[in-house]
Amino acid sequence: MAFTDLRLETPRLILRPLEMRDFDAFAAFHADPESMRFIGGVQSREVAWRTLMLMAGAWHLQSCSMFSMIERSSGRWIGRTGPWMPEGWPGPEVGWGVVRDCEGKGYATEAATAAIDWAFDALGWTQVIHSISPGNAASQAVATKLGARNRGPGRLPPPLADVPVDIWGQTREEWRQR
């Protein structure tokens, strides 16, 4: 199956590779200070465009990247989640980010569960991490629901090298036993 045909479905979400039609919502998400507080900071529309292109390009070159998180009931783009492994990253990550008005509804956990299943089953990953700011209680709660544990402080590559993160994670075996 070509990645452009890839769709993961959950009870409330469709996860699919990023597309240009996602850009306006993607850019608005990246412009929101609260949404971006723990995931790299606010981005201008121009920088958000580059981020979208970077993530879309990762699909072509690595066969994985962030999925668009689409609310099934409305068809609305509500965030991003998925397997992510940039150069210098501390491990194979499944990350998430949800637009502010959809926070606290369980979408991140639902989406990350599907993305982790896919990373282990389709990509053959043997572990998954989540790079989480020590101050990000909401993402820590999602990681805990996913069965991950805090492995301690980690380090991201530049330009995020000075951003404090804890590395949460689990092995494929731990995931399957949860």
Residue 58's domain comprises: 3-84+91-177
Query: What is the number of structural domains in the chain?
Result: 1
79, 70 contact by CB (below 8 A):
no
Rounded CA-CA distance 153/116 in Å is 22
How many other CB atoms sit within 10 Å of the CB of residue 155?
15
Joined together, the tokens standing for residue 38 give 């723990």
Report the interhelical angle of 45-62 vs 23-31 (nearest 10°): 120
Tens-binned pLDDT, residue by residue, of the chain (178 aa): 567 789 999 999 999 999 999 999 999 999 999 998 888 888 999 999 999 999 999 999 999 999 999 999 999 999 999 999 999 999 999 999 999 999 999 999 999 999 999 999 999 999 999 999 999 999 999 999 999 999 999 999 998 899 999 999 999 999 999 8
Rounded CA-CA distance 84/131 in Å is 11
Give the residue ranges of DSSP H helices in 37-90.
45-62
Taking the mean position of all CA atoms in its chain, how far away is CA 63? 15
Give the residue ranges of DSSP H helices in 90-177.
107-121, 137-145, 172-177
CATH of the domain at 111: 3.40.630.30
pTM: 0.95
